[in-house]
Amino acid sequence: MRAAWLLVAAAAAFAQKPEFVRIPAGAFTMGCEAAEPCAKSLPKKVVAVAAFEMAKYEVTVAEFRRFVRATGYRTDAEKAGEARTWRSPDFRLSDRQPVVFLSLNDAEAYCASIGARVPVEAEWEYASRAGSTTYHYWGEEIDGRYLWYFGNSKERPMPVGLKLPNAWGLFDVEGNAMEWMRGGGPHTSITKEGTGSPRGGSYAMCPEPYPPVNGVRQRMMGLGPTFRGFENSNFRREERRYDFGVRCAR
């Protein structure tokens, strides 16, 4: 009887699945400049990407709550008994905020529950660029019309979909929550099997918090690896933070 009830509850919970956008096949230039340490794992080259679908928005608190209610899932932060979790992030919570304090394990569990997956880096960057070749999908410099960051976010995630989307209709690919990537694909800065990496910057990040090094700007917000000063982007799959979320692909 209980098993049957869980099946009914799960079906009801996932009746409203996230919206997905069709991303066409194509190629783009991906990677770090030779002077950047990240070029060791991610040298600049042209990468081909097959057609796939990407969620229009980051996974929201309401969507993740439905998943938890239907399955009884407990995040890594909850299992560790931490005070700050997706339920109690130490800021005012609303249904349309991107869910945060997710580990890669948590992100994979949610995406799998809706018949999707965590994207690889090449998929995410290709979809986020939507044909652009600039540092950001809208241009070279930070523009508050397109993203939530430290300068305009009130130090908490903001409801998804309020800023201008990219050319393929994806919202908040930069700023708001950082989005988990998994390793693999045609080109990646994730060099250790089983690890992942967050990308896209967040509501808590300053665009350019450090002075230039050897004439190279030190930027935190952008479409490339978040930490360009490192040779790879290997984050433990249990890692979670106040601005780590996810956007699913399929």
Consecutive 10-residue averages of pLDDT for the chain (250 residues): 42 66 97 82 93 98 98 98 96 96 98 98 97 95 96 95 98 98 91 93 88 78 79 88 98
Residue 15 pLDDT: 52
At residue 229, the pLDDT reads 67
d(CA 239, CA 48): 30
Distance CA 195, CA 232 (A): 11
Query: pTM (2 decimals)?
Result: 0.90
CA distance 201 to 177: 7
Domains parsed from the chain with CATH numbers: 2-245 (3.90.1580.10)
Q: Which long-range contacts (CB under 8 A, 24 or more apart) does 80-88 make?
A: 84/242, 86/61
pLDDT at 57: 98
Q: Determine the Cα–Cα distance for residues 168 and 99; give it in Å rounded to an integer.
A: 23
The predicted structure's pLDDT at residue 195: 94
How far, CA to CA in Å, does 66 sit from each of 49, 61, 74, 220? Answer: 32, 9, 13, 32
- Backbone φ and ψ for 58, nearest 5 degrees, come out as -65, 150
Contact by Cβ (8 Å): 228, 36: yes
Residue with tokens 């949610």: 110
Encode burial over 59-68: b for 16+ CB neighbours within 10 A, e otherwise: bbbebbbbbb
